[in-house]
């Protein structure tokens, strides 16, 4: 499967790429199929069945709400987050779903929204949608939300969605980090240059640059929103937003005559950027999957750190950062997983940390080998990280975890620059280890909220 930088970085809404963005997209795809088959006017009832992790933590991740909005024809990249709750409240009161935003269909929540923690065969994040007519079943399909907003249906899953699409030929196709480094050496290219060449086989360079700059704009908007809002995050844990208060404190320090280490100051800003993004994500705001919502604060925090503290930072640096970061995300996606429900949080925060480290090293003038080393350091020191959100909410430990991983990514990039790129454990081996560790990890530690902090914090 050829994966684009725009597959990894997608505009969406919080709080989860696999449990919110993916299900909304799947539901919209289901409606599109009904429309294409001219079945919409015949629909008398829609049945939603959530399985596995989508069932176990779906309420905390707003999976049910996302599906409803998807059935109404909304998409994660264009929906106004402010309409989600009012639309669901109206449906609950009227017991009527406006399918495709134009066909009124009865929808009784306790009957038509069904929860079943038993997983389906292909992936832990599964949902079955069924359209009933007045006398017969019109259409059904199973969708798997495989992480980062990626969705495959039952047919695609059966034929292995990771198989190469023969219609797409990239000039510099790679499936491993070793292949990527060999191509860079052979063609005397930086990783960001090679990635740009691949992207330009899919769209013009102007479109690539504009698209990536738009991604950066949404990341910045998310940070700004996180710094503006305060109060209590939804979900019942009564988690207080901290970013706005921390921002005011940092501004006071910068304008005062206090003596403060520039290193600590920079680290405070990195923490702040990550907290702002993930608090906004937890509140259901607009953000960018990078590569997932649960890990969405790391790449914006590290890139913002560079753009704020590097005096000669340029617009082109944003493009190079995101391209280099995406190369690592592609490898994680192809050879392991970026889904917390599949391999734990090592697949989300671990992958994002590796991506951010690679992007920063690229801007620091690293060789391709040093970029690969930075990514490996970032991933290696997140191996085994479980996904055990308390209450099924992307709040504890998710928000702080992004801040910690952001600082770790910067350290990984700096450590890689101290060497020549030659190191003992390769990125390919680290990714393979992440995959194997995920397979060995018990399901209760993979986004089910049935183990780890999710239960011990409550027991305490």
Q: Average the pLDDT over 63-77 and give the result.
A: 97
Q: Average the pLDDT over 162-171 and give the result.
A: 66
Alpha carbon distances (Å) from 117 to 16, 60, 66, 145, 293 = 18, 14, 18, 15, 22
Query: Residue 402: CB partners within 8 Å, gap ≥ 6?
Result: 274, 275, 277, 278, 295, 296, 297, 298, 301, 349, 352
Q: How far apart are CA 270 and CA 292, in angstroms?
A: 19
- Mean confidence (pLDDT) of the chain: 94
The SS3 call for residue 32 is helix
What pLDDT score does 335 carry? 98
Indicate the length of the chain as a whole number: 460
Q: What digits encode the pLDDT tens for the residues 75-100?
A: 999 999 999 999 999 999 999 999 99
Where residue 266 falls among pLDDT bands split at 50, 70, 90? Answer: confident
What pLDDT score does 265 carry? 79
The SS3 call for residue 286 is strand
Where residue 64 falls among pLDDT bands split at 50, 70, 90? Answer: very high
Full set of structural domains in the chain with CATH = 15-158 (3.30.1330.90), 177-459 (no CATH)
Q: Is pLDDT of 460 > 50? A: no
% the chain with pLDDT above 70 = 95
Q: How far apart are the first and last CA of the chain?
A: 45
Q: Average the pLDDT over 237-248 and give the result.
A: 96
Kindly report whether the global pTM for this prediction surpasses the value 0.95. no
Where residue 169 falls among pLDDT bands split at 50, 70, 90? Answer: confident
């Amino acid at each position: 499967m050829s994966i684009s930088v725009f597959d990894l970085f997608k505009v969406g809404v919080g709080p989860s790429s696999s449990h919110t963005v993916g299900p909304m997209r799947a539901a919209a795809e289901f409606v599109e199929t009904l429309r294409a088959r001219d079945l919409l006017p015949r629909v008398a009832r829609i049945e939603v069945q959530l399985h596995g992790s989508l069932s176990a933590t779906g309420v905390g991740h707003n999976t049910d709400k996302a599906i409803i909005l998807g059935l109404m024809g909304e998409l994660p990249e264009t929906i106004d987050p402010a309409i989600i709750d009012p639309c669901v409240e109206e449906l609950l009161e009227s017991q009527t779903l406006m399918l495709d935003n134009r066909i009124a269909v009865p929808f009784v929540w306790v009957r038509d929204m069904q929860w079943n923690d038993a997983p389906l065969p292909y992936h832990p994040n599964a949902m079955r949608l069924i359209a009933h007519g007045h006398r017969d079943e019109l259409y059904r399909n199973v969708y798997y939300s495989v992480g980062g907003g990626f969705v495959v249906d039952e047919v695609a899953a059966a034929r292995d969605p990771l198989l190469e699409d023969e219609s797409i030929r990239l000039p510099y196709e790679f499936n491993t980090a070793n292949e990527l480094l060999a191509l860079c050496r052979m063609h005397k290219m930086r990783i960001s240059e090679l990635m740009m060449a691949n992207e330009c086989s899919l769209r013009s360079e102007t479109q690539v640059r504009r698209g990536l700059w738009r991604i950066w704009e949404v990341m910045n908007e998310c940070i700004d929103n996180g710094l503006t809002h305060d109060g209590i995050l939804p979900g019942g844990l009564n988690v207080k937003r901290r970013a706005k208060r921390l921002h005011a404190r940092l501004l006071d320090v910068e304008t005062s005559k206090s003596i403060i280490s520039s290193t600590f100051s920079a680290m405070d800003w990195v923490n702040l950027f990550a907290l702002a993004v993930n608090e906004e994500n937890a509140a259901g705001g607009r953000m960018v999957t990078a590569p997932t919502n649960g890990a969405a604060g790391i790449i914006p925090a590290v890139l913002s750190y560079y753009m704020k503290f590097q005096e000669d930072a340029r617009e082109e640096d944003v493009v190079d950062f995101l391209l280099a970061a995406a190369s690592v995300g592609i490898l994680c996606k192809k050879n392991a997983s970026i889904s917390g429900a599949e391999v734990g949080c090592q697949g989300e925060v671990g992958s994002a940390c590796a991506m951010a480290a690679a992007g920063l090293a690229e801007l620091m003038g690293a060789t391709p080998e040093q970029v690969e080393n930075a990514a490996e350091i970032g991933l290696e020191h997140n191996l085994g990280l479980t996904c055990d959100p308390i209450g099924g909410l992307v709040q504890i430990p998710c928000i702080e975890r992004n801040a910690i991983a952001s600082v770790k990514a910067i350290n990984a990039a700096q450590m890689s620059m101290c060497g020549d790129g030659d190191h003992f454990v390769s990125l390919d081996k680290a990714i393979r280890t992440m995959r194997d560790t995920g397979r060995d990890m018990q399901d209760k530690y993979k986004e089910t909220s049935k183990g780890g902090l999710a239960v011990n914090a409550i027991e305490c």
